[in-house]
Amino acid sequence: MSTTDAFTGPLFIVGSPRSGTKLLRELLNRNPGINLCNPESHFIPYLYRSFGTDPAFFSVDLDRFFAAFDRMPFQTFSRRMGKRVMQRADFEQLRDALTWAEAFEPILRFYGDPDAPRTAIWGDKTPSYVLDLPLLSEIFPAARFIHIIRDPRDVAVSAQNAWRHNLLRSATKWARNVSVGRRDAAALEGRYMEIFYEDLLRAPEAELRRACGFLEVAYAPEMTSLIRPSENIGKAAGKRFIDAANLGRYRERLSPRAQRRIEEIVFDAARDTPYELEYATRHVPLSPLRLGVVAAMDGSRSAVRYIRKKGLLDGISINLGNRLQKRRKLP
């Protein structure tokens, strides 16, 4: 293959939350030929559906388009990370874009490593895009996808540790994501590969070499090390190395009853994976009513966590305290 035909992107890393997508992005980004943006984008389907009708035709009001982009959590998180962010003037380069792929490319490249060569593979790690493979493939006909999959019992435990999310809802999301991702991958004709988290931890060089082969980029030995922690929450938080012991945590945390219930939920989706189910004998999904209840509870926990992270809860408490003090002073 000539250099002009070499794959330069986009690459999308997808999967269920707490499945190792962030670790994989950090390891791939150690390769000088790969430059994936950070933080997760999340905005591609939303902006396309809000402003686009045809992936092959990009024509938008750039003022409105930038205003919508600038309101995205992506921009908020980028600023919070101390990263440079695109301004309205930066969007002028999008006037030359003929397609939506050409419009999104400079945005994702901007939020990668500014020192990376122009020939480096660009792309993004957004786990939820596992549900958007057909749309992303329409927008980016050359896109390739790496779907990282982790033991659903460990995913559920990790989500509970990190965010206090309900074990059974996490299992339900895992089953949906794996099933939908694998179903939609059938139409991608060699542009999709799977990596199992456990294989990445046990044999990182072998799995990263396999990923490099898929991406048609030379393997770099430094890919098996981290220059910064890939996680700030969970058991891997703060670690600058691949923790091969971060496997099978569910055996310490789950009762046999909880493990069986998770296995029943993922029973069908876990077929053709390395994960042996120890208790379940059939598929028993969570009822819609129960799923709705636990989803609402998880949503409320996430909202409180977001408010605390923004410092709003302390402000509300202080304001209420001041009001109560003023009322006590009134005659």
Q: Using alpha carbons, list the distances in angstroms from residue 7 to 128, 160, 281.
A: 24, 38, 44
Tokens representing 102 are 């050409």
User: Does the global pTM surpass 0.85?
Assistant: yes
Chain segment 238-282, per-residue pLDDT in tens? 556 687 888 999 999 999 999 999 999 999 999 999 999 999 999
Q: What is the pLDDT of residue 309?
A: 61
H helix runs in the chain, sequence order = 21-28, 44-51, 62-70, 73-80, 100-110, 133-139, 152-163, 167-185, 197-202, 204-215, 250-253, 256-266, 288-310, 312-329
Q: What is the pLDDT of residue 4?
A: 52
Chain segment 22-34, per-residue pLDDT in tens? 999 999 999 999 9
CA dihedral of 64, 69, 70, 71, whole degrees rounded to 10: 100
Residues 6+ apart with CB under 8 A from 278: 259, 263
Q: What is the pLDDT of residue 233?
A: 52
The amino acid occupying position 127 is P
Closest CA to 10 of 203, 160, 28: 28
Tokens representing 26 are 């950090």
Q: What is the pLDDT of residue 234?
A: 54
Question: Consecutive 10-residue runs of the chain (331 residues): their mean pLDDT?
Answer: 72 97 96 97 98 97 98 95 96 98 98 94 98 98 98 97 95 98 96 98 97 98 83 55 85 96 98 97 96 92 74 42 40 37
Report the distance separating Cα 241 and Cα 239, nearest Å.
Answer: 6
The amino acid occupying position 135 is L
Whether the CB-CB separation of 200 and 20 falls below 8 Å is answered with yes
Tokens 């991958």 correspond to 185
